[in-house]
Structure 1
Amino acid sequence: MTNSAAGTQGESRAARFLADAGMSVVGRNFRSQYGEVDIIAKDGDTLVFVEVKSWRGYGFDALEQSIDMKKQRRIIETAKYFLSSHREYNSMAVRFDVVFVSPRDIQHLVSAFME
């Protein structure tokens, strides 16, 4: 399986996981000039921007380190762009989560980082 296919499969698993946890997915693979957000979901009155990491060969500790400040900044700027173009969500609280997907496990880090 290619890295791209594994990433797409991981994002689909993560979206199902979030939906099963009661969140509603409102967007996937949202792109802007700043970057991309894998999943955008509503969790009650909170809009959640989710980065999905799907890796087979590394533990979750290595995955956590892969989301450095530069990556976080890109996600935050993309989230701001999303909110500016989707004003219906402007009254909602915002959160940034990370979902790590491996072949056997899914780990969800709520409020993984902040602006």
Structure 2
Amino acid sequence: MLKALLRTFLKKKEDSSKFQASTDDAKNNQKSWKIAEQIAAEYLKRKGYKIIERNYRTPYGEIDIIAKLGSSFVFVEVKSGTGFRINPSERVDKIKYEKIYRSAEYYLKGKRYTRAQIDVVEVIDNGIIEIKHYKNVGWDFA
């Protein structure tokens, strides 16, 4: 249902990572964070990532999206907001980062991998959806 909803109100602009959206309808139908996660997942798919898990829960916390790019695992934290006072990505503090880190280690336990990293995808909603992708934010599992 969410995918059908996204198809009706998202149009990719050819020249950038900005999307046009009717966010008032979306907010009435779903929680905005859920829509932001779906937008981030669709963005990652368009960039060649394969989505493995969504909202993966561990004893340490939750990972919004687990994806693969080639043989690398990518653990993605999605942050959304308007960006008026603070950019959503700035809400990934040391405590949140530690939870993602521990959750990623928990997920990787016993798995074969060549590389893994933590990314943050920021979804800013100011009438036009803008996506910023911060790759490998300070720590990787190489």
TM-score normalised by the shorter chain: which range applies?
0.7 to 0.9
Name the CA distance, whole Å, in 1 between partners of 2:78 and 2:138: 14
Name the CA distance, whole Å, in 1 between partners of 2:56 and 2:43: 19
Once the two structures are TM-superposed, the CA of residue 112 in structure 1 deviates from its matched residue by: 1.6
| Counterpart check, 1:97 vs 2:119 | yes
Aligned to 1:17: 43
Once the two structures are TM-superposed, the CA of residue 59 in structure 1 deviates from its matched residue by: 4.7
Per-residue CA shift, 1:76-109, capped at 9, x if unaligned? Answer: 000111112xx3x432301110000123211101
Query: What are the within-5 Å matches in structure 2 for residues 57-96 of structure 1?
Result: 58-59=83-84, 62-84=87-109, 87=110, 89-96=111-118
Would you say the 8 A contact 2:73–2:113 is kept in 1? no
The counterpart of 2:54, out of the listed 28, 32, 37, is: 28
- Provide the secondary structure at the position in 2 that maps to 1:111: coil
Query: TM (normalized to structure 2)?
Result: 0.71
Once the two structures are TM-superposed, the CA of residue 113 in structure 1 deviates from its matched residue by: 2.6
Name the CA distance, whole Å, in 1 between partners of 2:84 and 2:117: 24
Name the CA distance, whole Å, in 1 between partners of 2:74 and 2:66: 6
Unmatched tracts of structure 1, length 5 or more: none
Query: TM (normalized to structure 1)?
Result: 0.86
Structure 1 residues 92 and 60: CA distance shift in structure 2, 3 A: farther
Q: Which has the larger radius of gyration?
A: 2
Aligned to 1:107: 132
Would you say the 8 A contact 1:60–1:100 is kept in 2? no
Name the CA distance, whole Å, in 1 between partners of 2:115 and 2:85: 27
Aligned length: 110
Higher RCO, Cα 8 Å, sep 6+: 1
